[in-house]
Amino acid sequence: MLSFAYEALPARVIFRAGALEDLPHELARLGSRALVLATPEQRPLAEQAAGLLGSRAAGVFAEARAHVPIETARAASAEVRRLSADCCVAVGGGSTTGLAKALALELELPILAVPTTYAGSEMTPIWGITEDGLKRTGRNPRVLPRTVLYDPLLTLSLAPALSGTSGINALAHCVEGLYSEAANPLTSLMAEEGIRALSGSLPRIVRAPQSLEARSEALYGAWLGGAVLGAVGMALHHKLCHVLGGTFDLPHAETHAIILPHAVAYNAAAAPQALRRIASALGVEDPAQGLLELARAVGAPTALKDIGMSRSALERAVELATASPYFNPAPIRADGLRRLLENALEGRRPGT
Ligand code: NAD
C-alpha cells in the first residue's frame, strides 16, 4: 500500500541550448547587481556572462575551489559587500555552486545557477564548507538556487573522462534515490528517467563529445539526479564515498563510479523492487553488473587501488563507515562492508 511524504522544492528551471542568453532577462527577477562566480579555469565564461549582464554585473569572482574552503567563502563575501551586490550568478560545476551557497547561507543572497557539469548541486538545498580540513555540511532552503539555466552548449567543453565520471555521480543520485528511506512515487519516476537518460547518453558522449543531442540528454538526466538528491536522503553509496573522499583524499567523481556497482550489489536482497526499476532503466538483467559495464564504457576507473587507495586503509574505512548510524536498505555490517571494499579495491565483480 502506498504511504509517503513529498515536499516540492521551489526552483525555476530553463532548459535549452543557448539558455545562457536568457541570463539578463532571468536575473531581473532576482536582483539588480550580480556577482558572477566561477573557478579560475572558467573565468572566460564568467566574463562572458558578465558581458551579457552589462551594468547588472557587479563584478566577477573567479576563485571558486573544490569543497568550498572557508577562506574562499570569506573572500567572496567581502567582494559582495565591497561591490554592493544583491544576488549572485554561479557559472560552473558543483564547486562554484557550492561557493554561491556559502554566500546565500551567510548573506541570504539569491542564486541564479548556470551548471556546466552533471553534479546536480544546483537542485539541492545542501551546502558544504571546509574549515581546517573538515567539511561541514547541512540543509537549508535558503541556499537552493532560485533559478537554474541549463544550457547543454556549455557542457560541450567538459572533457570526455570528466563527463563520464561526473555523469555517473548524477546516476548515483538516481540509484540511491530509488531505495532511499524517503523514496516516493514522484522522485522514483524522476530517478528511473534519470538513469535511462544518463546511461543512454554517457557512452555516446565519450565516443562523440560534441554531440549536442547526447549532451542535452545527459544534462537532463543530471537535472533529474539533482532533484532526487535534493528531495530524498541517500544511503550506503554516498556514505562510503564521503568517507573515502574525506579521509583518504580520493577523487570525488571517480570514487563514485567505482563504488556504485558494489553498493547496489550490497543492497540487492534488501531492496528488490528498487533494483528491478534500476535494471529496467538500464536495460539490463543484473543492475550491479550493468553499472560496472557502464563505468567501463565511459572509461571510468573500476578499482580503488588505481586511484590511490591502499589495502592498509581498508580497515579504517570500514571503521568510519560503521561508526555512526545511517539509513540503508541492507543492515550496515563490518564483514559485509569489508567484502564490498575489498571487491572495490581490486576491481572485482560486485557482490562476490
Ligand atoms: P567542479 O565544480 O569541481 O569542476 C571540476 C573542474 O571542471 C573545474 O576545474 C571546473 O572549472 C571544470 N569545469 C566545469 N565545467 C566545465 C566545462 N563545461 N568545461 C570545461 N571545464 C569545466 O566539479 P563537479 O563534479 O561539478 O563538483 C564537485 C563538487 O560538488 C564536490 O565538492 C561535491 O561535494 C559537490 N556537490 C555538491 C552537491 C550538493 O548538493 N551540495 C551535489 C553534488 C556535488
Q: Are 183 and 274 in contact (CB under 8 A)?
A: yes
Across 18-41, average pLDDT: 97
Strands (E), the chain: 12-15, 34-37, 57-61, 87-92, 111-115, 126-131, 134-139, 147-150
Q: How far apart are CA 172 and CA 82, in angstroms?
A: 40
Residue 196 Cα to ligand 1 midpoint, Å, equals 22
Instruction: Enumerate domains of the chain plus CATH numbers.
Output: 12-155 (3.40.50.1970), 160-346 (1.20.1090.10)
pTM over the 0.75 mark: yes
Q: For residue 133, name the pLDDT band (cuts at 50, 70, 90).
A: confident
Q: For 284, what's the count of Cα atoms within 13 Å in the CB-facing half-sphere?
A: 17
pLDDT at 314 over 90: yes
At 137-151, the pLDDT tens digits run 999 999 999 999 999
Residue nearest atom 38 of ligand 1, based on CA coordinates = 121
At 174-219, the pLDDT tens digits run 999 999 999 999 999 999 999 999 999 999 999 999 999 999 999 9
Nearest-atom index, ligand 1, CA of 123? 40
Q: How far apart are CA 170 and CA 223, in angstroms?
A: 8
In the predicted model, what is the mean pLDDT of the chain?
Answer: 96
Q: Are 173 and 234 in contact (CB under 8 A)?
A: yes
Residue 255 Cα to ligand 1 midpoint, Å, equals 14
Residue to mutate, 95, 99, 127, 176, ligand 1, most ligand atoms under 8 Å from C-beta? 95
Nearest-atom index, ligand 1, CA of 39? 11
Q: Are 228 and 185 in contact (CB under 8 A)?
A: no
Residue nearest atom 40 of ligand 1, based on CA coordinates = 121
Residue 96 Cα to ligand 1 midpoint, Å, equals 7
Residue 146 Cα to ligand 1 midpoint, Å, equals 19
Q: How far apart are CA 98 and CA 115, in angstroms?
A: 11
The residues lining ligand 1, judged by C-beta closer than 6 Å to any ligand atom, are 39, 41-42, 66-67, 92-96, 98, 116-117, 119-121, 124, 126, 128, 154-155, 157-158, 166, 229, 252-253
Q: How far apart are CA 313 and CA 315, in angstroms?
A: 6
Q: Are 32 and 55 in contact (CB under 8 A)?
A: no
Residues 6+ apart with CB under 8 A from 313: 248
Tell me what pLDDT residue 47 has.
98
Q: 10 Å Cβ neighbour count for 352?
A: 9
Residue 331 Cα to ligand 1 midpoint, Å, equals 32
Residue 114 Cα to ligand 1 midpoint, Å, equals 12
Tally the residues of the chain. Answer: 352
Tell me what pLDDT residue 343 has.
97
Provide the phi-psi class of 99: left if phi over 0, else alpha when psi is between -120 and 50, else beta. alpha
Q: For residue 135, name the pLDDT band (cuts at 50, 70, 90).
A: confident
Residues 6+ apart with CB under 8 A from 205: 160, 163, 164, 167, 211, 214, 215, 218, 298
Closest alpha carbon to 66 in 45, 107, 97, 44: 97
Angle 219-98-5 from CA coordinates, rounded to 5°: 70
Q: How far apart are CA 43 and CA 38, in angstroms?
A: 6
